[in-house]
Amino acid sequence: MLARFFIDRPVLAWVISLVIVMIGGISSALLPVAQYPLVTPPTVRVTATYAGANAQVVADTVAAPIEQQVVGVENMLYMNSASNNDGSYTLDVTFDLGTDINMAQVLLQNRVAIAQPVLPDVVKAVGVTVRKRSPDMLLIVNLYSDNDPKTGNPYYNNLYLSNYATINLVDRLTRVEGVGDVFSFGGQDYSLRIWLDANKMQSRSLTAGDVIAVLREQNIQVAAGQVGQPPISNGTRFDFQYSMSTKGRLAEPKDFEDIVVKTGADGAVTYLKDVARCELGAKNLDQNLTLDGRPSVGIAIFQLPGSNALDVADRIRLLMHEEEKKFPEGLRFGIVYDSTPFVRESIREVFHTLRDAVILVALVVLLFLQDWRSLMLPVIDVGVSLIGTFAVMKLMGFSLNNLTLFGLVLAIGIVVDDSIVVLENIERWLEKGLPVREATIRAMSEITGPIVAITLVLSSVLLPSAFLGGITGQFFRQFALTISASMLISAINAMTMTPARATSIFAGRKHGEGHGNDGKEALPWWSFCILGGVASIWFLTPSLGHFFGIASAEDLESLDALPGGVKATLWSWLGYVVLFIPGAIPGGIVGVAIIRPVNWFLGKFFKAFNSVFELGTRIYGKTVGWCLRLSVIMLLVYIGLIGLTGYGFTLLPQGFIPTQDKGRLILMVSLPDSASLERTKAVCKKIDKIVLETPGVANIINGAGRSFVLNAMSSNLASGFIPLKPFHERRGPGLNADGIASILRKRFREEIPEAKINVFGVPPVDGLGTAGGFKLMVQAAGDVDYGALQEQADHLAAQGNKMAHPGVEAILNPDYNPAIDPISKQYLGDPPAVIGALDSFRAKMPQLYVDVNRVKAKAMGVELTDVFDALQANMGSYYVNDFNKFGRTWQVNVQADSKFRMTAQDVRQLRIRNNRGDMVPMGSVAQVVEKPGPLQIVRYNMFPAAPINGAILPGISTGEIQAIMEQEAEGMPRQFSVDWTELSYLQKLSGTVREFRDLQNNPYSAFVLGTLLVFFVLAGLYESWSLPMAVILIVPMVLLSALFGVILAKMDLNIFVQVGFVVLAGLAAKNAILIVEFARDRQLQGVPAFDAAVEAATVRLRPILMTSFAFTLGVFPLVISHGAGAEMRRTLGTAVFSGMIGVTFFGIFLTPVFFYVIRRRFKPPLVQQ
């Protein structure tokens, strides 16, 4: 027997346990850290630029050809494109989860290549890029300037900041391990700007086309060759060979100014400086970024999927601190937008929950076993199992995320059962007088089989979860496999190393001592050493912990880099030991002095507890007897409870992933159509002032001229990021993200009426959307009337904002830390279900339309291409070619100087040369009229669409919002429809009929299949098809109990509740097995079914309640958790806490009834004989 091998070698058992702990501990330091498993569908982005084109032209000439080829690419979920008035085009293609993103990029690149021949030449010249899109924006590095004390103005403007970042920082940041992409917000790349003077051009009979042709001719890179390069003529000798060079590509503005544009017959020379102004300026001046009102440039860092977020952020900080030493005077950097404090804090809170769960489980075990030696075995086994699971997680490629850690928290109450089973059986044989070694061997010979059976049953429940697909499968898989790994380690541990440790621990028990004559002792004297040492760590960490790299709550949310890796982890462990000793020594002294009276008192308490428990057990046994006699009524009650379970599902709104306070808010600003950038910047200044005055806000990054949410650039748009203060500084009322957002909305509405301003939280899963809340697309089919599309989108958004919902009273639910308390309620008044549903589509932006009379142009000898080139070169920014400076390549752009492109009359005065050499005014062949057009054309799966973003009040589920919006959309004309996108798309997908028919993606299939596997396992163990039903019938009570708790807490039916269902099914089956197994054995010994059921229920009540209470108290810290990520912890905790309490209550009464009824109907063969 394997157990006997280790019983005879106890040192080997301890060594193996220590090795498991050591390997698991090192693995925990190597695991990547993330909020969730990799649940973000891979996305590939296509970008192109058609300089000077408006949104309609970009949509017709760039978007349509590309998307016609891209649509239907393998494994595509959806695609979303934006064609903007600045000529930019972006297409995001989202693929099914699990798709190889490298292969997806190749497939998409091939499709785009097919479309390239029909794209405009200007677009092909600039290039069409296809890149993997890194979805997770890890942090933003902001460069800003101090003010010069002499002038009071900043040392550096945005142009300098932007290009300093581009030249000195961006490439270095890109090379940091774990960085997937780097993007500059508010960037103004250098460009050689050639500003044409229309009057001087006209006086010299020059057109913009002439200038462009000369630039292409004279600014060109030349390969001049070599002198004396072989081959050479026979007999010819050259002693030297020289490389040749010449001035081809120009570099300085002065070089461009000296370009000869034209020479006259009389020898007169016209230089470029005679008709234009040349300067090293910005390629784009349409954006303006500020940090707390100061000019700034933001460098967004995107994390590489699978990398450790915390390590990447630390590397970024360390690199920036090194680069800061090279900064010129007055240049500063700051990292104010950072997603890692939330990840650090949420993971830290789960570890605290794990710690609290272990302590509570230990107290429950001590209460029932009443001996510290008996307590040691479960505690050691839990530690070995949990720490050893980290090694399995490393082997399986998992990350240290909330789901895997939740699995460990729930596993505590499960893995402790194996030790308790071993312990109880050893105790039973010890009470019969056997020596410790013999008692252990005899006990293990009896319970090895049941341990294997219990492990098989619990693993069967979780096994189907490992095969779920989609985002649901990603959530379930790591959670379920983590629990399974811990259970497997626990089972192996219980059958091998636990009995060896038991012989060592119980060898010290002396009968006649302790608080009872059985030799039990509640607490050892050294337990006070542990208490003193823990207290010492608690008090000394804030002041001395940093010497060992031990982070306090404040450290976790600071901007200073914290050390990471195995070396730092081992050093921090040493730190804990050092900090432990000062409290452990006096604690041990106190323990020696007071241990006897303490144990005497605990002995009296345990004796009273046992008496009360025995009385309760006798009452329970009689109650079970009455239940069996009234079995028909009990079955009717059971059927009623099943119906109540179904009704409970109809009461709960469908959710997906709980909205969370992640310490950041997103700002979205829209001014009236065609508002200038100066007006937008003025509004941004007002916003900065209001935001920085709001309690709980740390900083604001504000960008005028660009909407990060809409992925659009326009002078009337702005958006920003609002980092909030650390969580430990926002414990007060109204200081959570929802409360701050509501206050800001109220103030914006009252104090900045000239703009539409909305505030969103960030998505619950980074990378699934740009903002929290919901996002849908109003689509148009057939011939598109953009005005009608905007009308439908505006109407739908307005109706959504008016729709009140009975669930808004949940706004006062303290589940939200507190969610939105009376302080913020005064800013909300009587709120609707949807806050700030905003339709960003603008179909009738004021625009100018150049109506070319083609007949007249032909008659006057004007080529249409010359007309269009003149418009693009003067009114747009015409990219000619490139120049080199600072070791990089920059663009040369030609455009009319600002004073020549201010009004429509300036367009009419443009000159075009006809085929006779005459200069013809633009107004002679074209009219400039006002004609409204769209600001941005969005296409969703090739259909023109208008996006609607909206925030949701706490207490209202996203499923309810989807139902509300879809109900409103039913009244739209037939050619219009709505479709969900980003996170809303994935949620809708998880709830569709198609998804429920697909067992691989249906979360409830894991519950059903897991229960079915339990039935098959039990049928094989019992050699019966009927007896397993006594176990399986109790499983539906899991759903009823969990639903009751979730409804009481005013939560929704989200993915964490569904995860809890699966775990509870296994635990319910385990408790039922304890009764059914014992009753079956007694019946096979000849005891009638009635008596067997009553005896089994009575005898097994204590272990059932002990294990159930251990699990329930183990998850209780999840129920009352707060801080970062508390929303998801409370959701899961509430479901499993209420579910376990309920199923334990129903199980101890219904399981004996099920056994009795089934055994009366289907008698086993031995009983029949």
Over residues 674-724, the pLDDT tens digits come to 788 889 999 999 999 999 998 889 889 998 888 877 777 788 888 889 999
Strands 756-761 and 664-670: antiparallel
pLDDT attached to residue 1021: 78
Q: Are 447 and 6 in contact (CB under 8 A)?
A: no
- pLDDT tens for each residue of 617-669: 889 888 888 988 888 898 999 999 999 988 888 887 777 777 778 888 988 88
Query: Does the pTM exceed 0.85?
Result: no
pLDDT attached to residue 838: 63
The alpha carbon torsion through 897, 899, 905, 908 (nearest 10 deg) reads: -20
The residue that leads in pLDDT, 303 or 808, is 303
pLDDT attached to residue 1079: 83
pLDDT attached to residue 608: 87
Q: Could you tell me how far CA 853 lies from the centroid of its own chain?
A: 55
Tokens of 796: 């739908």
Confidence grade of residue 194 (pLDDT, cut at 50, 70, 90): very high
- Beta-ladder partners of 723: 664
Tokens of 403: 């789901």
Strands 911-913 and 774-780: unpaired
**Mean pLDDT in residue range 481-499:** 82
Classify residue 975 as exposed, middle or buried by CB count within 10 Å of its CB (0-12, 13-18, 19+).
middle
Q: What is the torsional sign of CA 342, 348, 354, 358?
A: negative
Confidence grade of residue 195 (pLDDT, cut at 50, 70, 90): very high
Examine the pLDDT at 561 and tell me if it is beyond 50: no
pLDDT attached to residue 816: 34
**Mean pLDDT in residue range 801-820:** 41
The alpha carbon torsion through 486, 487, 488, 491 (nearest 10 deg) reads: 120
Going by C-alpha positions, the residue among 950, 1002, 955, 954 that lies closest to residue 981 is 950
Residues in the chain: 1169
**Mean pLDDT in residue range 219-228:** 81
Return d(Cα 8, Cα 1) in angstroms, integer: 11
pLDDT attached to residue 319: 92
Confidence grade of residue 815 (pLDDT, cut at 50, 70, 90): very low
- Beta-ladder partners of 834: 952
- pLDDT tens for each residue of 1134-1149: 888 999 899 888 888 8
Q: Go through the domains of the chain in sequence order and give each one's CATH number.
A: 2-35+343-515+1002-1168 (1.20.1640.10), 41-134 (3.30.70.1430), 523-599 (no CATH), 664-845+937-994 (3.30.70.1430)
- pLDDT tens for each residue of 995-1025: 444 444 566 777 888 888 888 888 887 788 8
**Mean pLDDT in residue range 140-165:** 87
Q: Are 275 and 201 in contact (CB under 8 A)?
A: yes
Neighbours of 731 (CB within 10 A): 11
The alpha carbon torsion through 959, 964, 968, 970 (nearest 10 deg) reads: 40
Examine the pLDDT at 339 and tell me if it is beyond 60: yes
Examine the pLDDT at 411 and tell me if it is beyond 50: yes
Percent of the chain with pLDDT over 90: 6
pLDDT attached to residue 807: 38
Examine the pLDDT at 364 and tell me if it is beyond 60: yes
Name the most confidently modeled range: 462-471, 667-676, 1103-1112: 667-676
Q: Which of 79-83, 845-849, 942-946 has the lowest mean pLDDT?
A: 845-849
Phi, psi of 754 (to 5 degrees): -75, -5
Return d(Cα 942, Cα 145) in angstroms, integer: 44
Return d(Cα 5, Cα 499) in angstroms, integer: 10
Q: What element of type H or E holds 502? A: helix 497-506
pLDDT attached to residue 772: 64
- pLDDT tens for each residue of 285-309: 778 888 888 888 989 888 876 667 7
Quickly tell me which residue has 């070619």 as its tokens.
Answer: 881
Using alpha carbons only, give the angle 517, 520, 526 rounded to the nearest 5 degrees: 135
pLDDT attached to residue 193: 92
- pLDDT tens for each residue of 642-654: 999 888 888 877 7
Q: Are 335 and 317 in contact (CB under 8 A)?
A: yes
List % helix, strand, coil for the chain (3-state, nearest 5).
55, 15, 25
**Mean pLDDT in residue range 516-539:** 75
Tokens of 807: 């669930």
DSSP at 464: G
- pLDDT tens for each residue of 934-977: 878 888 888 888 887 776 665 566 666 777 777 777 778 887 88
Q: What is the torsional sign of CA 108, 114, 117, 118?
A: negative
pLDDT attached to residue 640: 92
Q: Are 722 and 691 in contact (CB under 8 A)?
A: yes
pLDDT attached to residue 305: 66
Confidence grade of residue 223 (pLDDT, cut at 50, 70, 90): confident
pLDDT attached to residue 108: 92
Q: Are 479 and 1056 in contact (CB under 8 A)?
A: no
> What b-and-e string marks burial along 637-675, b requiring 16 or more CB atoms within 10 Å of the CB?
bbeebeeebeebeeebbbbbbbbbbbbbbbbbbbbeeeb
Phi, psi of 77 (to 5 degrees): -90, -55
pLDDT attached to residue 94: 86
Q: Which of 476-490, 550-564, 746-760 has the lowest mean pLDDT?
A: 550-564
Examine the pLDDT at 352 and tell me if it is beyond 80: no
Examine the pLDDT at 513 and tell me if it is beyond 80: no
Confidence grade of residue 348 (pLDDT, cut at 50, 70, 90): confident
- pLDDT tens for each residue of 1042-1083: 998 888 888 878 888 888 888 888 888 888 887 888 888 788
Percent of the chain with pLDDT over 70: 87
pLDDT attached to residue 804: 46
Q: Are 869 and 209 in contact (CB under 8 A)?
A: yes
Q: What is the torsional sign of CA 813, 814, 819, 820?
A: positive
Q: Could you tell me how far CA 841 lies from the centroid of its own chain?
A: 27
pLDDT attached to residue 1165: 59
Q: What is the torsional sign of CA 1068, 1071, 1073, 1079?
A: negative
**Mean pLDDT in residue range 239-255:** 83
Tokens of 119: 């794209």
Quickly tell me which residue has 């636990």 as its tokens.
Answer: 498
pLDDT attached to residue 997: 42
Q: Could you tell me how far CA 683 lies from the centroid of its own chain?
A: 31
Quickly tell me which residue has 């009376």 as its tokens.
Answer: 822
Examine the pLDDT at 174 and tell me if it is beyond 80: yes
pLDDT attached to residue 810: 34
**Mean pLDDT in residue range 850-867:** 88
pLDDT attached to residue 510: 53
pLDDT attached to residue 444: 78
Q: Helix 497-506 to helix 10-30 angle, to the nearest 10 degrees?
A: 120
- C-alpha to C-alpha distances, 456 to 459, 463, 1069, 1070, 1139, nearest whole angstrom: 5, 10, 12, 10, 22
Phi, psi of 1019 (to 5 degrees): -60, -40
Return d(Cα 912, Cα 870) in angstroms, integer: 7
